[in-house]
Chain A
Amino acid sequence: MSGLIPQDEAVRQRVRTELGTSFVISAGAGTGKTTLLIDRIVAIVLTGHLKLEQIAAVTFTENAATTLKLRLRDALERARAEADDPSVVARASEGLASIERAQVSTIHALCTAILQERPIEAGVTPGFRVADEALSDFIFEEAWEEWLQDRLTGYDDLLEAVILSRIPLEKISPIGDPMTLRKLARRLVAQRDLMPHIATAGIDPKPVRDWFATKIARAYELIQEKPEADTLVAAVRSLHAEIAKTKGLDDPDLIVAHRSLRLRKGLGNKRMWKADEAFDECRALTLEIAERGAAWEKEKNASFYSGLVLALQGVQSIYERRKNEAGVLDYVDLLVKAAEALRGNASLRSYFRRKFRAIIVDEYQDTDPLQVEIIEMLAGLSGG
């Protein structure tokens, strides 16, 4: 096999030799992309184009980063052993001398390096630790407990409404955390780089109740002197009684009252009414009321949900404070804060551009928009 030359060898050779040109390499699994990346790094170092510590190589996993570093070491050792040119030997030796400091890492570790090198400018705690998932879960748990305890030891209308609506606050079971308030809080913290999609306007129950009252009053007029046994008549009577009860009730009770109506299609028997137009109008009214009721319930739920989301931002604030106190950043912080620092500070950007003169990204297809932005800012493709 060693005698075979790949069909795309010419392209591979360009990657190894055109060291001033940027490349996007796309090929199938097992075709030697990573090997090519190593070849390129080695070529950059051995030709004196750049020093090893001026290259940032980004991989997708920690294991891949370590493997890449070990393979890079092997390649440099091989080059040192085989080269005749003393300058190449010297450059290989220099590369090997700085191999421990080479920035071959995941994107998160690259962001860690950026933030730890310039924490003052990035506004993070110098010497911060990176919280792995277990630690960030632990800090979240503390934040959640603090937030919850604060509310549970006093008065909180929203939380009381949650409890009385039988939404579970928290329930940790061996198989995980089912849909609870705690889980919602955890999700909001984990996705805090995204804007929550919530209703922003409040809702006023009064016009809705008035609308219901008007429609039901009309339906009630239509059923006068109609047979009691008819299901449509019974439903409208029930509606009439229920809407009377909602006077003075607050929002959740209105919903409860509405739910109890159980309006459905196909109510009533036209033949029993002996008045086609009245029947049609009455049935249409009940359906309209049912639809409006369902929409109102959705609005109410959305409003309740947005209230919850806003309240749960308190958990996030505590989470941030606790991380600060502990001097840790979680994985989301690493990306968000590194991007913020590079975006907002021209001299920082230029410092790292000077420091990392070449950037090599393995598995580029797996990067997300924020990671791409960071890489582009480092590469000078995006000004921040």
Chain B
Amino acid sequence: MPLTPTLLLVPSVSAGQILLRRLAREKRALAAISAMRPRDLAAKMAEAECHALGLLAWQSGHGAILSAKLLAAHPELLKPGLPEAPVARVLARTLDDLRSAGIRPAAVRRLAERSESPEDRSRLLGVARIYERYHAEIEAKFFDETRLFAQAVTAEAPFLAQTAIFFSPDLEPRPDELRFLKSLATRFGARRIEGGDTQTPGAFPRLADAARIPTVSWADTVFAPVARPSSEEISHLTKSLFEAPGPPPPPPSRPSGISWVTAPGEASEVRSIARLVLKAAREGMPFDEMAIALPQPDVYAPILVDLFSRAKIPFKLHPSLPLATGRIARSFLLLLGSRDFDRGALLEFLTFAPVPLADKTGDPEPPHPSVFDQITRELKVVSGIDRFRKALDHFIKEESKAAVSLSEAHRASRERRVKAARALSSLAEALHAALAFTFDKLPLDQWSTELLALCNDWIRPTNEIEETEHQLVRETLEEIGALATVSPAVSFDRVLSVIEAQLDRKRRPLEERSRVGVHVGSPEALSGGRFRFVAFLGLVEGRFPGVFRPDPFLLDPERQALNDEIAAGAPRRATAQRSLFDDDENVPDPVSGLSLATTASRVAQVRRMFTRTLGQAEESLILSYPRADEQTGRERLPSLFLMAALQAFKGAAVTAEDLHKIATEDEDGHTDIDLSIDMGERDTEVVARHGVQALAWLESDRPFLRSAHELSRGRSAKRLSAFDGLVGAEGEDTHPRLDPIKSGQAISASRIAAFGECGFRYFLRYVLRLEPAIEPEERRKLDPLEKGTLFHEVAELFLRERRDQGGLPIRNTEEERVRLLALGDERLEAWVEGSPPRLVLLWRAEKKVFLTLLSDWLAREAENYRTKKTTPAHFEVSFGMPHRRSNTNEPHRDLPVEIALDDGRVLKISGQIDRIDRIDAKDGGGLVLRDYKTGKAPTDNDASLFKGGRQLQIPFYILAAQEIFPGEKVVEAFLDYVNAGRQVAFSPAKATSATFRALLLRIADLMGHGVFMQEPSACTFCDFTAVCGPNPVLESRKRRRRLHDPLARQVAELKQFA
């Protein structure tokens, strides 16, 4: 083993790690062997020196900020109305290219002056002026990569003196980087390792040869044991890629090491690759020797992470995904997004981000964020700190008030809610105070300081990887501050756009350095590594390679002209201290061949990258493409690169038809059950092979599968099952707690009606006691339930007041109308006290509609008296329940109504009658009962007694009224649909009929036997439809059950009770 320290310069951080790991596996000593990127070496050599010169580090996002500032003075480049940030980002890339290529501002100015068209001249002059300022600012105050490389060319580096330095043939250096590499060769005897493309202009090996960098073979380095050549087949492919078909390829190995895969979409494509990975692993290939290159990591990585995790394939995601997708960066952006106190954004931040809740709420045992979700849902506040404050205060006041009047057991629960609301209130206030600065216009260093404090204060990493991400986010925020000297005070939006761009540009760190598994990442991230197995995904035309566009600030011919000027420039000066930005004439590049990139050279660069990636495979190479867009279903066609690869593989011109013939599709483990990706796939195949007997065996071992299968069977069965509301078992006696008779308790009339409308809803609401979780929205109107409740309250208040003041009957006078509307207005205001509506125009219109409803009702009431002589007499008359304290002046009956059913059992009913009117004695006397209803009045012609359960309360009220007012007769009873102004009458005689008793018996039996069947006709305004499935499915299920299930038939027969 070498005693000489060895340094290998590689194109990616990952490449170094992979090579060193390989060496370790070969049981080679790793001491004194290291691998790093040229940029990192330059930093080691020159960073301290740059700092000593008083220069600040220049970060990638700085260019955009400085460009934005400089652009402001150039309307010829930034047209009015265009956003500054994206224009500045594009311009920053152009300026960075110019610096990297060593182009001086004077050259751009000369180019502009030579320009024939006035538009081009104006644009180029603008670019030249900005570039002059840009490079002057950087030169004076900062060190960017260009400066770092230039500084490193001459920097003292004693630690390299005895080091053997090698360049990986896979490097893709920038022009300034190439100069640095050349200097390493000159000063320290660095050598390029042989291999790679020595023919194509722009390829590193060719550039290195031109720069006379000496070479060495892998075999002569310490990396010899791990630098295995690719198979002959793969080598042939990469050598002849993008070339005219040459000599025939070697006979393919059996089986071929190169595979062509296609799939209907990205997810199935990843599934195919996962199976091939499993297959290779089964044949003995370590996961760590495999790599998956994703040219579109943002699309593929989430799919792959999910699938590989399920398939339990170990993998290592190399820095490919934007930092913005990591938990910490995302949390920070969510934190900034909470500044308007939008409920959704705030709750997403609180539930997703690692927030130090104990600190922020002042509660050592803070509530779980889900409690905040529940409370804010109830508050119905959607946005704005003021409305949050008001709503929370109101909530705390009301809950505290309610808690006082409750028993100890119930009080504890209320008090917990109050405590949670207080915690949320503290949290909201703290957050509001912490984010207040974002509404100011601040200098960049102050932005940096404030944002850093915010990030440190509100986001606490919970593990090592989050710590690293946190550090990267903090660095991003620090970088913003470095530009304070070149930019004036800016607004939050500008800073946010820079932060977002930076978090998008930076990559997430490696998840775990020690983790071993399949290497996954973008081709750039994996670049330089060697693997036995490489899969390249997503080879679709238009996606990879992407679309190549010229630089709009410096068009291709202009770039070429600058390159030509360099090539034909003045003789090179022999000086080591030359600045890139001396104001003298052009100096030819010491390493010719690399200069300003054009569209054509970028295409060539991507081709090289593709070739190199394929060449990273030693034994097995897989190229794949999805045939369709999974989102749109549109057909996709193979990439031109894929066609080129196939042509190189075949050694002859090929067509898309040839690809279709050779490409294989995943078979879902049909042929090899051991390659199933997950248990679901495996079980499906087992059942397909061995029939339903296998299912029974599988179910014995898999409770989840058993439940899922039972659910599936139950839902599609001809008969009712436990999965759609049949709680009792067939043949069983009725259940005491479900059976309204056996339970011995009174059941409310409204519950009987609810069961009549939909048994399943009754089950969810009254048996399971589920509450619908409705996402609050800005109030646009009163929902039907609210309108009904409000109407009820106002009507009752008004009528009681009139009655108690002797103001009945109703006459619809101006005075009455004014009073009624005043009461309505008052109640409406009180209704929204805790959550004032933000959409005032809609609220005003809704109020108008509600007040019109009241006016119309008053007119109807007056008309009623004129025609029927009915006068309101009693309100909220209750029976079978405790007498309300606020209602003691109304008649009441403690005992429930008892209805003797035909089988001898007794059903006890409780309830509350909305209103009872009396008819004047001189007009015949008698009681008139009404039950207020909201929503649309029924328009069907259902003549049954049952009427879909909608009117089942009324007969109980008739029976109760006869008990409460003995000797008086109920002459009329109806449902009063106030919105529609319609009344639906119920014949009082029916309440004592045998049919009604039989109906009750049937309902009690169904309840007792746990038959809670779904009723599709009741879905329209139901809050529980999410758990029921689509309405047409319910309809068809109901029809099927009615045919085959006696219990379902019994439910269906309810409407036959006429």
Q: A126-B552, A127-B89, A327-B83 are in contact. Are A155 and B841 (CB under 8 A)?
A: yes
- In whole Å, how far is A37's beta carbon from the nearest beta carbon of chain B? 17
B236 within 8 A of A: no
Bound Cα distance A117, B557 (Å): 12
B105 within 8 A of A: no
Residue contact A125 to B83, C-beta cutoff 8 Å: yes
**Contacting residues, chain A, for B640 (C-beta < 8 A):** 69-70, 73, 99-100
Give the residue name and chain of the A residue nearest to B80 (CB). Answer: A123
- In whole Å, how far is A89's beta carbon from the nearest beta carbon of chain B? 7
Bound Cα distance A117, B86 (Å): 15
Bound Cα distance A101, B81 (Å): 31
Bound Cα distance A101, B600 (Å): 8
Residue contact B545 to A100, C-beta cutoff 8 Å: yes
Q: A100-B640, A126-B87 are in contact. Are A117 and B555 (CB under 8 A)?
A: yes
**Contacting residues, chain B, for A67 (C-beta < 8 A):** 637
B254 within 8 A of A: no
B549 within 8 A of A: yes
Residue contact B244 to A347, C-beta cutoff 8 Å: no
- In whole Å, how far is A182's beta carbon from the nearest beta carbon of chain B? 13
Give the residue name and chain of the A residue nearest to B546 (CB). Answer: A100
B603 within 8 A of A: yes
Residue contact A124 to B82, C-beta cutoff 8 Å: yes
Give the residue name and chain of the A residue nearest to B840 (CB). Answer: A153
Instruction: Report how many A-B pairs have Cβ atoms within 8 Å.
Output: 125
Bound Cα distance A10, B838 (Å): 74
**Contacting residues, chain B, for A118 (C-beta < 8 A):** 552
A47 within 8 A of B: no
**Contacting residues, chain B, for A151 (C-beta < 8 A):** 841
B655 within 8 A of A: yes
Stretch at the interface among B4-12, B43-51, B115-123, B427-435: B115-123
Give the residue name and chain of the B residue nearest to A127 (CB). Answer: B90
Residue contact A89 to B244, C-beta cutoff 8 Å: yes
Give the residue name and chain of the B residue nearest to A163 (CB). Answer: B845
- In whole Å, how far is A154's beta carbon from the nearest beta carbon of chain B? 7
Residue contact A116 to B603, C-beta cutoff 8 Å: no
List CB contacts (< 8 Å) of A92-137 with chain B: 93, 96-101, 113, 116-121, 123-128
B807 within 8 A of A: no
**Contacting residues, chain B, for A141 (C-beta < 8 A):** none
Residue contact A77 to B656, C-beta cutoff 8 Å: no
**Contacting residues, chain A, for B652 (C-beta < 8 A):** 81
Q: Flag A183-221 by CB within 8 Å of B: 1 or 0 each.
A: 000000000000000000000000000000000000000
Q: A152-B841, A160-B841 are in contact. Are A125 and B549 (CB under 8 A)?
A: no
Q: A62-B542, A100-B640, A155-B841 are in contact. Are A123 and B603 (CB under 8 A)?
A: no
Residue contact A120 to B600, C-beta cutoff 8 Å: no
**Contacting residues, chain B, for A156 (C-beta < 8 A):** 841
Q: Flag B604-646 by CB within 8 Å of A: 1 or 0 each.
A: 0000000000000000000000000000001101101001000
- In whole Å, how far is A71's beta carbon from the nearest beta carbon of chain B? 8
Give the residue name and chain of the A residue nearest to B549 (CB). Answer: A116
Interface centre among A77, A120, A327 (most CB of B within 10 A): A120
Residue contact A154 to B840, C-beta cutoff 8 Å: yes
B31 within 8 A of A: no
List CB contacts (< 8 Å) of A134-157 with chain B: 149, 151-156
- In whole Å, how far is A342's beta carbon from the nearest beta carbon of chain B? 13
- The 8 Å CB contact of A152, one of B553, B647, B839, is B839
- The 8 Å CB contact of B118, one of A98, A126, A347, is A347
List CB contacts (< 8 Å) of B237-258 with chain A: 242, 244-245
- In whole Å, how far is B23's beta carbon from the nearest beta carbon of chain A? 38
- In whole Å, how far is B890's beta carbon from the nearest beta carbon of chain A? 39
Residue contact B82 to A324, C-beta cutoff 8 Å: yes
Residue contact A153 to B550, C-beta cutoff 8 Å: no
Residue contact A324 to B81, C-beta cutoff 8 Å: yes
Bound Cα distance A153, B383 (Å): 13
Bound Cα distance A116, B656 (Å): 30
Q: A154-B841, A324-B82 are in contact. Are A121 and B119 (CB under 8 A)?
A: yes
Total interface residues on A, CB under 8 Å, equals 51
A74 within 8 A of B: yes
**Contacting residues, chain B, for A97 (C-beta < 8 A):** 242
Residue contact A153 to B643, C-beta cutoff 8 Å: no
List CB contacts (< 8 Å) of A30-80 with chain B: 62-63, 66-67, 69-70, 73-74, 77-78, 80
- In whole Å, how far is B656's beta carbon from the nearest beta carbon of chain A? 5
**Contacting residues, chain B, for A347 (C-beta < 8 A):** 117-120
- The 8 Å CB contact of B647, one of A77, A98, A121, A348, is A77
Q: A101-B603, A117-B549, A120-B552 are in contact. Are A80 and B845 (CB under 8 A)?
A: no
Interface centre among A66, A70, A100, A160 (most CB of B within 10 A): A100
Bound Cα distance A80, B242 (Å): 13
- In whole Å, how far is A343's beta carbon from the nearest beta carbon of chain B? 15
Residue contact B841 to A66, C-beta cutoff 8 Å: no
**Contacting residues, chain B, for A100 (C-beta < 8 A):** 545, 548, 603, 640
List CB contacts (< 8 Å) of B654-687 with chain A: 654-656
A159 within 8 A of B: yes
- In whole Å, how far is A136's beta carbon from the nearest beta carbon of chain B? 15
- In whole Å, how far is A142's beta carbon from the nearest beta carbon of chain B? 13
Residue contact B600 to A98, C-beta cutoff 8 Å: yes
A345 within 8 A of B: yes
**Contacting residues, chain B, for A154 (C-beta < 8 A):** 840-841
Residue contact A70 to B656, C-beta cutoff 8 Å: yes
Q: Flag B837-853 by CB within 8 Å of A: 1 or 0 each.
A: 01111101100100000
B132 within 8 A of A: no
**Contacting residues, chain B, for A99 (C-beta < 8 A):** 640
- The 8 Å CB contact of A120, one of B244, B553, B655, B778, is B553
Give the residue name and chain of the A residue nearest to B90 (CB). Answer: A126
Bound Cα distance A116, B90 (Å): 11
A244 within 8 A of B: no
Bound Cα distance A99, B599 (Å): 12
Residue contact B548 to A127, C-beta cutoff 8 Å: no
B989 within 8 A of A: no
- In whole Å, how far is B626's beta carbon from the nearest beta carbon of chain A? 14
B42 within 8 A of A: no
Interface centre among A73, A164, A324 (most CB of B within 10 A): A73
- The 8 Å CB contact of B638, one of A70, A120, A159, is A70
Residue contact B845 to A70, C-beta cutoff 8 Å: no
B79 within 8 A of A: yes
List CB contacts (< 8 Å) of B17-67 with chain A: none
Q: A80-B653, A119-B552, A120-B77 are in contact. Are A73 and B643 (CB under 8 A)?
A: yes
Residue contact A163 to B603, C-beta cutoff 8 Å: no
**Contacting residues, chain A, for B552 (C-beta < 8 A):** 116-120, 126-127
Residue contact A81 to B634, C-beta cutoff 8 Å: no
**Contacting residues, chain B, for A149 (C-beta < 8 A):** 778, 838-839
- The 8 Å CB contact of A81, one of B77, B86, B653, is B653
Bound Cα distance A154, B844 (Å): 10
A325 within 8 A of B: yes
Q: A116-B549, A117-B555 are in contact. Are A66 and B245 (CB under 8 A)?
A: no
Give the residue name and chain of the B residue nearest to A155 (CB). Answer: B841
The 5 closest A-B pairs by CB, nearest first: A77-B653, A152-B839, A347-B117, A126-B90, A327-B86
A73-B643, A101-B599 given. 20 additional CB < 8 A pairs?
Answer: A63-B635, A66-B637, A73-B640, A74-B655, A77-B647, A89-B244, A93-B244, A99-B640, A100-B640, A101-B600, A118-B552, A119-B552, A120-B79, A123-B82, A126-B552, A152-B838, A152-B839, A153-B838, A163-B842, A324-B82
* A/B interface sample: 26 pairs, CB < 8 A: A62-B542, A67-B637, A69-B640, A70-B637, A70-B656, A74-B653, A77-B245, A78-B653, A80-B244, A80-B653, A93-B244, A100-B548, A120-B79, A123-B81, A125-B87, A127-B90, A127-B552, A151-B841, A159-B841, A163-B845, A164-B845, A327-B83, A327-B86, A347-B120, A348-B119, A351-B117
**A residues with CB within 8 A of B:** 62-63, 66-67, 69-70, 73-74, 77-78, 80-81, 89, 93, 96-101, 113, 116-121, 123-128, 149, 151-156, 159-160, 163-164, 324-325, 327, 345, 347-348, 351
